[in-house]
Amino acid sequence: MFENLSDKLERAFKVLKGHGQITEINVAETTKEIRRALLDADVNFKTAKDFTDRVRTKALGQNVLSSVSPGQLLTKITHDELAELMGGQAAGINMSGNPTVVLMSGLQGSGKTTFSGKLANHLRKKGRKVLLTAADVYRPAAIDQLETLGKQLDIAVHSERENKDPVKIAQNAIAYAKQHGFTAVIIDTAGRLAVDEAMMDEITRIKKAIDPQETLFVVDAMTGQDAVNTAKVFNDRLNIDGVVLTKLDGDARGGAALSIRSVVDKPIKFIGTGEKMEALDEFHPDRMAGRILGMGDVVSLVERAQEQFDEKAARELNKKIAKDQFGFDDFLDQIAQIKKMGNMKDLMGMILASARPSRISTSRTMPSRALKPSSRA
């Protein structure tokens, strides 16, 4: 994820290598490199400039402890500012309402249907009884796609093939959910190639009619600044509650993740990192900052592992190992479970801090703890 940006930031901090202390000159040089890295990652100009101004002010204003190298200090400041830029605190999803209703919005192909499935899966793991709803009435294939996902996940899908009114379908789904004890309803809607009045009108009408707890805007992170602009248009019209960034496993440069919050002022709530139903992470700004700076994100990794691994099975396995009965079948099982956690590259990225210790040198007297993603979370 964001390898290019990570590499360029790493290079920026190299400017300070060998420097014993922070000076106006070496900070200016480093922040210039940071700004270049952000612009290359497709962060908008003003956001990048404001960002580096803040980093510079903070760096020059800090008394450098003799045990902290300028490189470490700048890394820490940049980490905290990146986290702040992406919203500071994780926003979470509003689960009030019985049932909780989540409405998807976004352009064609952004990943709404895929994310609807992922979210359903995610909420079920949190104990919700979820109903997926197919309110994309234009393509019969869209209903098929959601039904296939529902079958694959063993989650109920509400669809009405003869009904061409998405507002009615959404309302019917909620009524059905109430009658049958569903505690969460996820409504997948139709997208269009570009923002147009018909789509905006339709999604606005659905929102008005059902008053969802969460209106999420789903956007392909690979579209960079376009993603930010579209988010703004949707938010102005729909007053969204949060953003879902998809396809972060691809070669997205990071611009969308870094600029959306400052331009739209709505939090990123989830990120999609693959086509599989498990490839979903809650968005935590500080963890993402850590990943971008090559510090890894072990916390998210552990959460993913916890979602995939069955504690009871793990205990059984432990017993087997203790008794020397761990066989090839067990080994195969383990590999399959790791595969379910997502692609290897992504997983390695999460543990990068330990895989690539060169990123942040803690070889001096500074305890490595001090450079872990900020403790504000």
Ligand X SMILES: Nc1nc2c(ncn2[C@@H]2O[C@H](COP(=O)(O)OP(=O)(O)OP(=O)(O)O)[C@@H](O)[C@H]2O)c(=O)[nH]1
**Please, are residues 107 and 194 in contact by the beta-carbon 8 Å criterion?**
yes
Q: How far is the CB of 307 from ligand X (least distance, A)?
A: 16
Q: What's at 93, amino acid-wise?
A: I
CB of 188 to Mg ion, least distance (A): 6
Residue of 260, 165, 264 whose CA lies nearest to 220? 260
Q: Which residue's CB is nearer to ligand X, number 247 or number 269?
A: 247
Contact (Cβ atoms closer than 8 angstroms) between residue 199 and residue 135: no
- Are 275 and 342 in contact by the 8 Å Cβ rule? The answer is no
Site for ligand X in 73-102 (CB under 6 A): none
Among 142, 157, 199, 243, binds ligand X (CB under 6 A): 142
* CA 286, 289, 291, 296 torsion-angle sign: negative
Tokens 């209903």 -> residue: 143
C-beta neighbour count of 161 within 10 angstroms? 10
The CB-of-141 to Mg ion minimum distance in angstroms stands at: 9
Strands (E), the chain: 100-105, 130-135, 156-158, 184-189, 214-220, 242-246, 268-272, 280-282
Report, in Å, the least distance between residue 14 CB and Mg ion.
44
215 scored as a contact of ligand X (CB under 6 A): no
Residue 214, helix vs strand vs coil: strand
Given the complex with Mg ion, which of 112 and 284 has the nearer CB atom?
112
Told to check if 136 binds ligand X by CB under 6 A, we report yes
Q: Which does 359 bind (CB under 5 to 8 A by kind): ligand X, Mg ion, none?
A: none
User: Closest separation between CB of residue 279 and ligand X, Å?
Assistant: 6
Asked whether the beta carbons of 249 and 126 are under 8 A apart, the reply is: no
Measured from the CB atom, the residue of 73 and 216 that comes closer to ligand X is: 216
Angle, CA of 62, 52 and 250, to the nearest 5°: 125
Q: How far is the CB of 227 from ligand X (least distance, A)?
A: 13
By CB under 6 A, the count of residues binding ligand X is 20
Strand ranges inside 232-350, DSSP E = 242-246, 268-272, 280-282
Q: Residue numbers of the site for Mg ion (CB under 5 A)? A: 112-113, 142
The answer to the question of residue 246 lying near ligand X (CB under 6 A) is yes
Binding span for ligand X by CB under 6 A among 65-73, 88-96, 242-250, 261-269: 242-250
| Residue 106 binds: one of Mg ion, ligand X, none (C-beta under 5 to 8 A by kind) | ligand X
Of 40, 4, 42, nearest in space to 225 by CA: 42
274 binds, among ligand X, Mg ion, none (CB under 5 to 8 A by kind): ligand X
- Is residue 114 within 8 Å of 246, Cβ to Cβ? yes
Residue closer to ligand X by CB (options 94, 108) is 108
Minimum gap (Å) between residue 164 Cβ and ligand X: 16
Residue 142 vs 245, nearer CB to Mg ion: 142
Residues near 308 by Cβ (< 8 Å), separated by ≥ 6?
Answer: 278, 337, 340, 341
Contact between 272 and ligand X per CB under 6 A: yes
With CB under 6 A as the contact rule, which of the stretches 231-239, 268-276, 340-348, 349-357 interacts with ligand X?
Answer: 268-276
Nearer to ligand X, 10 or 346 (CB): 346
Binding site for ligand X (CB under 6 A): 106, 108-114, 136, 142, 191, 246-247, 249-250, 272-275, 279
